[in-house]
Structure 1
Amino acid sequence: MVNYAQWGTGPWLVHGDFNNVHYPDERIGTGISWSEIRQFHDACNVSCLQTMKTVGAFFTWNNKHDVGTRVFSRLDRVLHNDEWLVEYPDCFAHFLPGGLYDHSPCIISTREQSLSKPKAFKYLICGLWMGNFIMWFIMCGIKRSQVSEKALFCIQEELRSNPTNPTLNENERVASQEVQQLLKEKQMFLSQKSNLQWVMEGEDNSAYFHSVIKKRRSSNKVFQIQDVMGNTIT
């Protein structure tokens, strides 16, 4: 970072996990000394880099431990030079709730704008005749996973302002376990859905059906064989 700042020109920024904080108040849960952060602090000053305006989560990392041993730190940040701010005066970094991860994801925007919400994953219901029985795959757990993830994010938003609250920490642990279970169920469903593509489209005389047949015929072709004497027969 320091080397690039010596010869680099124009607007530029650097973003990521720096594995260190810039100021002592950017970590709670364990002590911190000035000597521990001095190297990173000096590197930012020598490089003439400043932290981008930030919204969302202040602490971008935590160790996910229980109350008493839990540590919150601001390890992730976006740094930019003066030229970047001249070119993009309205830029900001939005750190989202970490969810199941220990780091918070970040969205960098070069202008003030409302963050669009993702489209809802709709229900999927399909009935398949398989010989003498019916296989029904009713996937409503995906909607439940969205609700659970939203609840987890809300808890983590509250933890932002009160990170040492034991009740909030316990609620986050329970919500995380529920989201993990629902994500496993979602993965199982998507795997089943992939395996059933042949059943749904193969019987429909579709292009998918014919492409599979062609591939199977090609792989089953025997272009040459060898007899016991080693002679090749085509």
Structure 2
Amino acid sequence: MRKTRAESQQKLVNSITQSENGAQEREPLWEDLRSYSTQMAGPWIVCGDFNSILNVGERIGGAVVTRAEMASMRDIVEYNQLQELKLNRAYYTWNNKHEASSKVYSKLDRNGPRQKRNVKKESIDLIKARDMYLAHKAKETWVKEGDSNTTFFHSTITRRRTRNRVFQIKDQHINLCCTPETVKLAFEQYYIELLGTSKQVKPIHCGVVSTCNCLSSEHKIILSATVTDEEIKQAMFSIDGTESPGPDGYGSQFLKDA
């Protein structure tokens, strides 16, 4: 990485990067940028080839982009409070020069001036909250690896729900069930035979039960006591915010924030 200075009314520091190809090889660059950030009191712009992308839309073709792949670059942008400088040039700055069927385009070059240090992070918090909500809705592990393309997220949720629907199934008599009613009936019949509907049980002998450990009067009072709002709140706040949502689609993190 090379640093240059432009003299004006205020010094502007321009850091030019040329990143390595491998993720491990890029770690020294990330460490340098974190270190330089603490030294920069005035305007600072970081530009060059980062060999990393920030969002899924910054690559076309090739392997599926994951959150883990973008994590380091996103951390650097957030840590240094860098903005994306819009330039009048091609969006994708690199391609593998292969044939059309296997061609890959990526946005690897960027220019990032730093925001003022007193800029608040509400927008970052909102993006994280939105990503968590969409991850709950989609229930996809790779969506947790996520991106910032809302259209992409919602289309993924729709595809997931479609894949989870059972349009046809063979019942226990190898008959093909194709309507919602017959599919439902096939499932019901399968589990009725598997679990049964009723079973003869032996009568309970109170004399035998009384010889076992039984609840004390104090325990009976505790179990029959009215549940307070504070107890409900404590139980809700003890649930991990990343747990799956309930039937209404809202997870525990949403209720905590509300």
TM over 0.5: no
- The two structures have a TM-score, normalised by structure 1, of 0.34
Rg larger for: 2
Which one has a larger percent strand, Structure 1 or Structure 2?
A: 1
